[in-house]
Amino acid sequence: MIVRVHPASGVPIYLQIELQVKHAIAAGALRQDDSLPPVRKLAAEVRVNPNTVARAYQNLERDGVIRTVPGGGCYVNGQSPGLLKSEKLRRLKPLALQLAVEAKQMLVAEEDAVKLLKESFGELGRGSEERAGDEG
Protein backbone atom coordinates (compact mmCIF):
# COMPACT_ATOMS: atom_id res chain seq x y z
CA MET A 1 0.00 0.00 0.00
CA ILE A 2 1.39 3.32 -1.03
CA VAL A 3 0.82 6.11 1.42
CA ARG A 4 2.38 9.51 0.97
CA VAL A 5 2.26 12.00 3.76
CA HIS A 6 3.05 15.68 3.84
CA PRO A 7 4.29 16.42 7.33
CA ALA A 8 4.49 20.15 6.75
CA SER A 9 0.98 20.57 5.42
CA GLY A 10 -0.52 21.34 8.80
CA VAL A 11 -2.82 18.34 8.62
CA PRO A 12 -2.15 15.73 11.30
CA ILE A 13 -0.33 12.79 9.77
CA TYR A 14 -2.71 10.21 11.26
CA LEU A 15 -5.55 12.01 9.54
CA GLN A 16 -3.69 11.99 6.23
CA ILE A 17 -3.18 8.25 6.54
CA GLU A 18 -6.82 7.67 7.40
CA LEU A 19 -7.95 9.72 4.43
CA GLN A 20 -5.62 7.91 2.08
CA VAL A 21 -6.84 4.53 3.24
CA LYS A 22 -10.44 5.63 2.84
CA HIS A 23 -9.60 7.04 -0.57
CA ALA A 24 -7.95 3.81 -1.62
CA ILE A 25 -10.99 1.82 -0.53
CA ALA A 26 -13.38 4.20 -2.23
CA ALA A 27 -11.41 4.03 -5.46
CA GLY A 28 -11.32 0.24 -5.32
CA ALA A 29 -7.55 0.01 -4.85
CA LEU A 30 -8.23 -1.71 -1.56
CA ARG A 31 -10.99 -4.26 -1.52
CA GLN A 32 -12.91 -5.96 1.21
CA ASP A 33 -10.77 -8.36 3.24
CA ASP A 34 -7.51 -7.00 1.85
CA SER A 35 -4.93 -6.74 4.61
CA LEU A 36 -3.22 -3.57 5.70
CA PRO A 37 0.47 -3.68 6.55
CA PRO A 38 1.34 -4.01 10.23
CA VAL A 39 1.80 -0.74 12.10
CA ARG A 40 5.57 -0.93 12.32
CA LYS A 41 6.02 -1.87 8.71
CA LEU A 42 3.89 0.95 7.42
CA ALA A 43 5.57 3.38 9.77
CA ALA A 44 8.96 2.31 8.45
CA GLU A 45 7.92 2.58 4.82
CA VAL A 46 6.39 6.00 5.21
CA ARG A 47 9.03 7.12 7.72
CA VAL A 48 6.59 8.25 10.37
CA ASN A 49 6.06 7.55 14.04
CA PRO A 50 4.45 4.15 14.70
CA ASN A 51 2.18 5.86 17.24
CA THR A 52 0.81 7.90 14.35
CA VAL A 53 0.05 4.83 12.26
CA ALA A 54 -1.44 3.10 15.29
CA ARG A 55 -3.73 6.05 15.87
CA ALA A 56 -4.82 6.08 12.26
CA TYR A 57 -5.60 2.38 12.39
CA GLN A 58 -7.51 2.84 15.64
CA ASN A 59 -9.61 5.59 14.14
CA LEU A 60 -10.27 3.58 11.03
CA GLU A 61 -11.42 0.71 13.19
CA ARG A 62 -13.58 3.01 15.27
CA ASP A 63 -15.17 4.25 12.06
CA GLY A 64 -15.78 0.71 10.96
CA VAL A 65 -13.53 0.98 7.95
CA ILE A 66 -11.15 -1.77 9.02
CA ARG A 67 -11.12 -4.52 11.60
CA THR A 68 -8.30 -6.03 13.61
CA VAL A 69 -8.07 -9.76 14.13
CA PRO A 70 -6.93 -11.16 17.51
CA GLY A 71 -3.84 -12.76 16.04
CA GLY A 72 -2.74 -9.43 14.67
CA GLY A 73 -3.37 -8.00 11.26
CA CYS A 74 -5.83 -5.45 9.96
CA TYR A 75 -8.32 -6.10 7.23
CA VAL A 76 -10.56 -3.91 5.18
CA ASN A 77 -14.20 -4.17 6.05
CA GLY A 78 -17.01 -4.41 3.61
CA GLN A 79 -18.22 -1.00 2.78
CA SER A 80 -19.79 0.58 5.85
CA PRO A 81 -20.94 -2.45 7.75
CA GLY A 82 -23.80 -1.98 10.10
CA LEU A 83 -24.01 1.78 10.13
CA LEU A 84 -27.35 3.46 9.81
CA LYS A 85 -27.74 5.62 6.75
CA SER A 86 -28.69 8.48 8.98
CA GLU A 87 -25.41 8.06 10.90
CA LYS A 88 -23.44 8.04 7.66
CA LEU A 89 -25.12 11.19 6.50
CA ARG A 90 -24.48 12.79 9.85
CA ARG A 91 -20.80 12.14 9.44
CA LEU A 92 -20.70 13.55 5.95
CA LYS A 93 -22.59 16.68 6.88
CA PRO A 94 -19.53 18.72 8.03
CA LEU A 95 -17.75 18.01 4.75
CA ALA A 96 -20.80 19.06 2.78
CA LEU A 97 -21.10 22.20 4.85
CA GLN A 98 -17.45 22.97 4.27
CA LEU A 99 -17.91 22.69 0.51
CA ALA A 100 -20.93 24.95 0.68
CA VAL A 101 -19.14 27.53 2.81
CA GLU A 102 -16.08 27.66 0.60
CA ALA A 103 -18.19 27.83 -2.54
CA LYS A 104 -20.24 30.66 -1.13
CA GLN A 105 -17.08 32.54 -0.04
CA MET A 106 -15.72 32.32 -3.52
CA LEU A 107 -19.09 33.18 -5.06
CA VAL A 108 -19.32 29.84 -6.84
CA ALA A 109 -22.89 28.92 -7.81
CA GLU A 110 -24.64 26.00 -6.17
CA GLU A 111 -25.07 24.03 -9.36
CA ASP A 112 -21.36 24.39 -10.12
CA ALA A 113 -20.52 23.03 -6.69
CA VAL A 114 -22.89 20.10 -7.19
CA LYS A 115 -21.32 19.42 -10.56
CA LEU A 116 -17.91 19.34 -8.91
CA LEU A 117 -19.24 16.79 -6.47
CA LYS A 118 -20.58 14.58 -9.23
CA GLU A 119 -17.26 14.74 -11.03
CA SER A 120 -15.46 13.61 -7.88
CA PHE A 121 -17.72 10.59 -7.62
CA GLY A 122 -17.02 9.86 -11.22
CA GLU A 123 -13.27 9.89 -10.60
CA LEU A 124 -13.59 7.34 -7.84
CA GLY A 125 -15.36 4.92 -10.08
CA ARG A 126 -17.91 2.36 -9.24
CA GLY A 127 -16.67 1.66 -5.70
CA SER A 128 -18.54 4.60 -4.33
CA GLU A 129 -22.04 3.60 -5.31
CA GLU A 130 -24.53 2.84 -2.66
CA ARG A 131 -25.21 -0.83 -2.36
CA ALA A 132 -28.65 -2.23 -2.20
CA GLY A 133 -29.44 -3.81 1.09
CA ASP A 134 -28.12 -1.03 3.32
CA GLU A 135 -30.29 -0.35 6.26
CA GLY A 136 -32.40 2.71 5.71
Partner 1 sequence: MSDFVVETHALTKRYGSLAAVDGLEMGVERGSIYGFIGRNGAGKTTTLRMLAGLSQATSGTARILGMEAKRDQVGILERTGFVIDTTLLPWMTGKDLVRFNRGFFPGWDDGLVRRYAEALDIPMNRAFKRLSQGNRTKLCLLLALAQNPELLVLDEPTAGLDPVVTDQLVRVLVEDFANDGRTILMSSHHLSEVERIADWVGIIDKGRLLLEARLDDIRSNYRRLRVVGERLPRSTPEALAVSSAEGVTEYVVKAGAEGLAAELGSQGAIVLEVLPLNLSEIFLVLVGKESHVPVEVLA
Q: Which residues are near partner 1 by CB under 8 A?
A: 5, 7-14, 39-41, 43-44, 47-52
DSSP annotation of 130 reads P
Q: Which is nearer to partner 1, 102 or 135 (CB)?
A: 102
Cα distance between residue 117 and residue 121, in whole Å:
6
Q: How far is the CB of 79 from partner 1 (least distance, A)?
A: 28
Q: Provide CB contacts within 8 A for 42, sequence distance 6+.
A: 1, 3, 17, 36, 53
Q: Which is nearer to partner 1, 25 or 57 (CB)?
A: 57
Q: Which is nearer to partner 1, 101 or 114 (CB)?
A: 101
Cα distance between residue 55 and residue 13, in whole Å:
10
Q: How far is the CB of 71 from partner 1 (least distance, A)?
A: 18
Q: Which is nearer to partner 1, 11 or 116 (CB)?
A: 11
Closest C-alpha to 25, from 92, 89, 76 = 76
In the three-class reduction of DSSP (H, G, I as helix; E, B as strand; rest coil), residue 121 is classed as helix
Q: How far is the CB of 126 from partner 1 (least distance, A)?
A: 34
Q: How far is the CB of 64 from partner 1 (least distance, A)?
A: 22
Closest C-alpha to 64, from 84, 51, 79, 52 = 79
Q: Which is nearer to partner 1, 86 or 98 (CB)?
A: 98
